[in-house]
Amino acid sequence: MNIKKVCKPRNIGKIDIPTPLLVPSFSSAQFDDIGDLHRKLREYITDASLVGGYDLHYENIKRDEIWVSDVVFIDSGTFEYQGQFSSKKLKDWTFEYVSQVPSENPKKPWSSLMYSAVIDALEPLSKVVLTNFDQKEPLEDQISYAKNLFSKYSDYGTCFLCRPTDKGSSTIDIKGLIENISLIKSFNILGITEKELGNSVLERCEHILMVRKALDTNGLMLPIHIFGCLDPLSILPYFLCGADIFDGLAWLKWIFHENVAIYINNSPLLTGNWSESNQNTNLIAYVKNCEELRKLRDAMRRFTLKYDLDIFGLKKDILKEIVNLTRTAGIEY
């Protein structure tokens, strides 16, 4: 497909938010002090941000403190719920101990009803996008449950996050999604997690392009939201293949420098803050990342008007790889 048909400005219906859009995420799944981080960084996330319903319910992030962005994405919280059994969260628990003492299992409950209660309690001061309570199950069931949830909240934008249809599968059924693409016309955004798009960057690019083509064929101008993808070099090829919205935690794990994500402990070598504590160094990196993401978003928006790849300021070898990758996926420049 021609780049001008694939990569262009789109809007989040109902709430009239333009894309492309980059969304810094906050999650207790990997950061115990996520509420404190949110408070310290709130002035730098004025465009968009994402928080999980699980974290709002358990007050890891205070619900009255999230309205600092023009649009706030409310994720279902299943990522945080499942993250309780990550190696990080269980650093003081052995597998044997958890197995032997189920009554003392630290896992906190989470359900679709609890998620609905969180949404009911919202008193928004910003525009809102809701994500469905995503689970691996047949596609028609996923869509039906999402429609049922969203029907209760007509003032909010809606993102249908498509998951694998089989509990044993690690990737979505791309063929099944495309065959049933007309069923998602009532949603404002189609979401897919980066990891579940495919098993290689090429396959993921191909699948994004296939979905974009199917949406266009059915007259649907829905933005595509790639969950769990917020580092610049991953964003760009997906964007060029038709994706519009990107969120993730990469901005809290790495420092972005010249569109490359670098080990965050090396940030003093980029910023000159050699004598700062690790905590302060990280905060400086997070603020820098917010600025880098704003610059990238602006460049992406300019690209949809001029279609000049030099806008991104990439090094020649990196630009060449991205162009070759997206051409192989099916983009025509």
Confidence at 99, pLDDT banded by 50, 70, 90: very low
- At 87 the pLDDT is 44
Instruction: Reply yes or no on whether the pLDDT at 95 is more than 50.
Output: no
Mean pLDDT of 178-201: 97
Instruction: Reply yes or no on whether the pLDDT at 1 is more than 80.
Output: yes
Q: How far apart are CA 253 and CA 264, in angstroms?
A: 6
CA distances from residue 110 to 52, 76, 83, 296 in whole angstroms, order as listed: 12, 10, 12, 35
CA distances from residue 248 to 22, 60, 296 in whole angstroms, order as listed: 9, 18, 15
Burial 298-308 (b: 16+ CB within 10 A, else e): ebbeebbeeee
Could you report the per-residue pLDDT of 82-93, keeping only the tens digit for each? 766 554 444 444
Could you report the per-residue pLDDT of 207-221, keeping only the tens digit for each? 999 999 999 999 999
Confidence at 274, pLDDT banded by 50, 70, 90: confident
Mean pLDDT of 312-330: 97
Mean pLDDT of 68-83: 88
Q: Please indicate, yes or no, whether the overall pTM of this predicted structure exceeds 0.85.
A: yes
- The hierarchical CATH code for the domain 3-248+302-329 is 3.20.20
Higher confidence at residue 83 or residue 280?
280
Instruction: Reply yes or no on whether the pLDDT at 161 is more than 90.
Output: yes
Q: How far apart are CA 191 and CA 201, in angstroms?
A: 17
**Phi first, then psi: what are they for 225, rounded to 5°?**
-110, 120
The three-state secondary structure class of 72 is strand
Instruction: Reply yes or no on whether the pLDDT at 96 is more than 90.
Output: no
Instruction: Reply yes or no on whether the pLDDT at 262 is more than 70.
Output: yes
Q: How far apart are CA 136 and CA 164, in angstroms?
A: 5
Instruction: State the DSSP string of 284-323.
Output: HHHHHHHHHHHHHHHHHHHHHHH--GGGG---HHHHHHHH
- At 195 the pLDDT is 96
Sequence spans of domains, the chain: 3-248+302-329
- At 211 the pLDDT is 99
Q: How far apart are CA 282 and CA 288, in angstroms?
A: 10
Q: What is the mean pLDDT of the chain?
A: 92
Higher confidence at residue 58 or residue 99?
58
Instruction: Reply yes or no on whether the pLDDT at 245 is more than 90.
Output: yes
Mean pLDDT of 52-63: 96
